[in-house]
Amino acid sequence: MDLSDSEKRDLIKLIESNKLLPDQYRFRLFEKSDEIELFWNGKSNEITNVNLPFQIIEQVDEPRKEIEPSLQGNLFDERGRKLRGWTNKLIWGNNSLVLSSLINGQLREEIEKQGGLKLVYIDPPFDVGDDFEFEIEVGKEKLNKKRNALEQLAFSDTWGKQEDSFLSMIYERLRLIKSLLSNEGSIFVHLDENISPLVKIILDEIFGKENFNNSIIWQRTGAQNNPSKFGNNYDVILYYSKDSKNRIWNPIYEEYDENHIETYFNKDDTGRYFRLNNPTGKGSQNHTRDFGRGPISPPIDRHWALKQDSINQLIKQDRIVFSKNGYPYIKKYIDELPGKMIQSLWTGLIRSRHRTLGNEVFLYPTQKPEKLLERIIKCSSNENDLIGDFFCGSGTTLIAAEKLNRKWMGCDLGKFAIHMSRKRLIQVQREKEKEGKHFRPFEVLNLGKYQREFFIKDYLFNERALKNEQAEEHYYQLILDAYKAKKLEGLGVIKGIKNNRAIAVGPFNLQVTRLFVEEVIKECALKKITTVDILGFEFEMGLFPNIRDVAAKQGVDLNCLYIPNDIFDKKAVKNHQIIFYNTAYIDAQIITKKDEFSVKLRGYSVFDSDNQFEEALSELEKGEKREILMKNSIIKIHKDKDGKINKNIIKMKWDDWVDYWSVDFDFENKKEIIKEGDKDKWTGDFIFENEWQSFRTNETEMEFETPFRKIIKGKKIAVKVIDIFGNDTMKILEL
């Protein structure tokens, strides 16, 4: 450290006075002074280091809508079959917790058995405007789908301090991803032109400049007319490897266009197009180790390693041409070449304003084209390699991987995103099966069961500066006030009371889990409380209906309600306009004939909260309009300037709300087993094995009765319904 005695004394005084050190000392005091590093407010080298168990909610290993009895066991059934071994994974949860648990948990060993994670593509939420909203159809009506409460909170954590908080979020995720990548693995990070320069510096710091391969420019839209500047119509995809000298790389080609042929090819006497290839690659601006950054030029052979007999054969065919300097070139015809090598400028993958690209339909606002992901997957992985996407959205990366015969794992915080991915992936399985191609089953997983300390006092509270009991109590009071409940003192998870029903409030940043509900039931039994409402932003997948049966056996009438998104709207809370919606109810029936049975879905009830609805109506301001969902209806209300309330009730059919339903014909056949130390432990739950399903697509109508199958007495049948908002409910039937 090259400091004079006077400089050392000055630094000591500054430290003793608790003052900031001048910038000129930063690189003189610390190592790596020759490197460029990005600093921002809140940067920390701490990363999530937890190991939470993964809970299998659903196993999807049978995509067939119908299983014809005549084909079961038929040796001539040539349809695609399930592949054994690795099971693909679709995970609902916070990706920092998911990544940490993959790194530190039992799945790490399973990942290593597959050769490690060879490729990661991520498309993080880089747009600072919270405009995630799109239309969903309910019968002939349309509603706007917004972020759920958990997604809004995560978005707030990501962009609450603009670039500072985004950089903190992405910095931690990138470090976790690097720990999970195999030594020959690569990562593609999809960003816009505003944030990409900052993230590139972070990637240089984490992966090393020497492992930077490309900045890929993807033209995402057509004309972007802006009278004040050049329209922004591209995104940046940063391509890094864990070790660039040891990475997987497969050059990607596309068909020649007329302009390219006219520029780079000649015709011989027979009229065939040809060009002269430099066998050593000298002077070429083409890149075979990455996406070339120079002018577009034809692909070449890099190796002049022909045997003498091959050379003689080429000479006889007049296929070797020598330059004036005596340098050899091989004459290659256009039909012998793989095509034009793709460079770092990617065009032609633009979806139209009608939300289509070829046969592909885009339902999700940030959904990327499959062809974009196919290109990335082909260049940096091989068949049967494992790839990952930890901001998977509607699952395009996973779908492209499935079609290209890659193993995959995906993660997203949004329950609706997980549901969309599941539907699209099952559709791919069905297509592969029809074509006689084999496919792998996949699992839908929760990240839980969370320990009690992760409910309220977890790391998110530290990031959000909500560290003390006062902040925790403020959260409970906010919810109780909106629910018009009275606070109770001296209890545990029970926080209030309304109309003689106890009130428990779930965590603000996680779903309500079975562990939490069990705590509520235990306290109710201990305090002789017979009725309780649990309020939560989200509920663990597969929680219902079993948990209500558990409560009933303890003499507790348990009701669960969703906390709505507008709970954080101070005006709505003040005006008592918050409506807590009940979880849904399924009406399903077993139909029998002789020795066969089917399952029929007969009804689905949502949003039943009369008292809350009337309270909200009474507090409407003059001139205000609202849309409320109630009793399978869309109610459009308007309070005019004179205070008169006008209601337009649009009656909907129950099946308008159903987006997907599936059946496990032998529920309680597969126990949920988790690791505790070195031992396997049964959680007391069962895995839902998805054996038949029907869901909405643009091409087909939903079916509401399964095909008939042989009766096997004593079996329990599980029926799962997922509505258009992504909420899931389950019912158990018995033969």
pLDDT tens per residue across span 372-412: 999 999 999 999 999 999 999 889 999 999 999 999 999 99
Residue 505 in tokens: 């409030």
Give mean pLDDT, residues 148-168.
59
Q: Is the pLDDT of residue 211 over 80?
A: yes
Q: Whose structure tokens read 């209806």?
A: 633
Angle at 259 between CA 254 and CA 262, to 5 degrees: 110
Per-residue model confidence as pLDDT tens digits over 671-690 = 877 777 778 878 777 888 99
Q: How many CB atoms neighbour CB 214 within 10 A?
A: 17
Q: How far is CA 227 from CA 223, 231, 529, in A?
A: 12, 8, 66
CA gap 82, 421 in Å, rounded: 19
Q: Which amino acid is at 617?
A: L
Instruction: For the chain, give every residue range classified as CATH 3.40.50.150.
Output: 54-68+78-212+228-252+344-447
Distance CA 455, CA 166 (A): 24
Q: Which fold has domain 54-68+78-212+228-252+344-447?
A: Rossmann fold (3.40.50)
- The pLDDT value recorded for residue 631 is 58
| Tokens describing residue 192 | 């816009």
pLDDT in the model for residue 157? 47
Which residue type, as a one-letter code, is found at position 374?
A: E
pLDDT of 8 strictly over 50: yes
Q: How far apart are CA 143 and CA 608, in angstroms?
A: 18
Residue whose tokens read 């999530």: 48
CA 97-103-104 angle, to 5 degrees, is: 90
Q: Are 653 and 625 in contact (CB under 8 A)?
A: no
User: Residue 417 region, left (φ>0) first, then alpha (ψ -120 to 50), else beta?
Assistant: alpha
pLDDT at 712 over 50: yes
Amino acid of residue 173: R
The one-character DSSP state at 342 is: P
- pLDDT(181) > 90: yes
Both tokens of residue 315? 């000479």
Contacts of 478 (CB under 8 A, 6+ apart): 567, 573
CA distances from 481 to 317, 469, 475, 484, 505 (A): 88, 18, 10, 5, 12
Task: Confirm if 474 and 89 have CB atoms less than 8 A apart.
Answer: no
Helix/strand/coil for 32:
coil
| Count of all residues that appear for the chain in the document | 735
Comparing CA positions, the residue from 519, 586, 507, 506 lying closest to residue 550 is 519
**Which residues, in sequence order, are CB contacts of 700 under 8 Å at separation 6+?**
none
The Cα 655–Cα 479 span in angstroms is 32
pLDDT tens digits, residue range 410-438?
Answer: 999 888 888 889 999 999 998 888 888 88
Predicted pLDDT at 66: 46
How far out from the chain centre does Cα 364 lie?
12
Distance CA 171, CA 598 (A): 52
In a 13 Å sphere around the CA of 686, the CA atoms on its Cβ side amount to 18
DSSP designation for 701? P
Helix (H) or strand (E) holding 478: helix 469-482
Per-residue pLDDT band at 453 (split at 50, 70, 90): very low
Percent of the chain with pLDDT over 90: 28
Q: What share of the chain is helix, strand, coil (3-state, %, to 5)?
A: 30, 30, 40
What pLDDT, on the 0 to 100 scale, is given for residue 67?
44
d(CA 503, CA 489): 12
Over 50: is that where the pLDDT of 73 sits?
no
Q: Return left, alpha or beta for 393; rule: phi > 0 is left, psi -120 to 50 is alpha, else beta.
A: left
Residues 6+ apart with CB under 8 A from 672: 55, 56, 682, 683, 684, 685, 686, 687
CB distance 582 to 610 below 8 Å: no
- Considering only residues 204 and 150, tell me which one the structure prediction assigns the higher pLDDT: 204
Selection from 508, 510, 505, 504 nearest residue 523 by Cα: 504
What would the mean pLDDT of 271-299 be, rounded to a whole number? Answer: 57
Q: What is the pLDDT of residue 390?
A: 96
Average pLDDT for the chain: 78
- Mean predicted confidence (pLDDT) in 571-592: 74
Structure token pair of residue 194: 């505003």
Residue 616 pLDDT greater than 60, yes or no? no
Q: What DSSP state is assigned to residue 563?
A: P
Structure tokens at 279: 């066998």
Contact of 300 with 277, CB cutoff 8 Å: yes
Q: Is 202 helix (H, G, I), strand (E, B) or coil?
A: helix
Question: Would you give the distance in Å from CA 546 to the centre of its chain?
Answer: 27
Are 724 and 138 a contacting pair, CB within 8 Å? yes
At residue 647, does pLDDT exceed 80?
no
> When comparing pLDDT for 59 and 70, which is higher?
59
